[in-house]
Every structure is written in C-alpha cells, then in structure tokens.
Amino acid sequence: MKKEILLRILPIFIIILFILGIFYFSYEYDCGDNKACYDRHLQNCKKTSLSVVDEGSSFTYQILGSERDMCKVRVTLVDMPQETNIETAQLFEGKAMECEIPKSSTFDTEILEYCSGPLKEAIYELTIQKMYNILAQSLGDIIDKL
C-alpha cells in the first residue's frame, strides 16, 4: 500500500521540482529604471533588466549571468528620438551588443570597451562616417584656399 502511494506521488514531486527549477533559472528581475537596484544585482551577477533613457534614446540592459569573474550584460538600443533621421534610426534601433564587465562594476553607459556585437559595430560605423565627412569638408576647404 505504501509502495503504491509512493510510486504515484514520486513522479508528481519530480515534475514539481522540475517546474520550480525552470522558473528559478529563467527568472529575470525587472529593476525598471532604478540604477541602484541594477547595481545590487550586478554585484552578484543575477539575471536582471534595466530600462534607461539616455539623450532621448531608450536602452535595455540585461544581466545574463556570470562567466569567471566577469558578468555578461546585453545592451539593446530599443528606440531613438523621433527627430533622428531615418537612416540613423535604422542603423541603430533594435541592435544589441554583449558585454563582459567586472562584477565589481556599477551602472555605467561607458562600457563599450567590454562589448562586441551589432550595436557596437553600428556605433563605430557612424563614428567613421562622421570622421570621413569632417575630413572631406576640411580637404575641400584646403583645396579652395589653394
């Protein structure tokens, strides 16, 4: 009798543990726009998300987990201000980059050196375009003076 009850309860217990394990390992805490909350979770590298508006652009920072003494973070540019030209918006919106930052860090928007991915590439592409435009304009001015 006890063996029959145990055989019926054991699979249910295992399923419940499995479901709780999935919930525990996939749960991501949402800090909203609270940077202090994000910093607390960054110290332990716990899965967390943070929404930030910087110069009119909306970003999402997601702590993905730890790797060695570094914390993996995904930064996604969600959207840009409406006055942004269409080409620039298309270059950036929806792009993400993954960063490995030291666990001892706090929230900082200047983490580009730790990152790689399409968003970082888009930032460099725009920087190169701007530098090219400045160089071309300067050369044009020099040629006009000659």
Helix (H) or strand (E) holding 115: strand 115-116
Domain positions in the chain: 30-145
| pLDDT computed for residue 25 by the predictor | 60
pLDDT digits (tens, 9 = 90+) for 58-73: 999 999 888 888 899 9
Which pTM does this prediction carry?
A: 0.71
DSSP for 4-30 reads: HHHHHHHHHHHHHHHHHHHHHHH--EE
Torsional class of 14: left (φ above 0), alpha (ψ -120 to 50), beta (otherwise): alpha
Residues in the chain, pLDDT under 50 = none
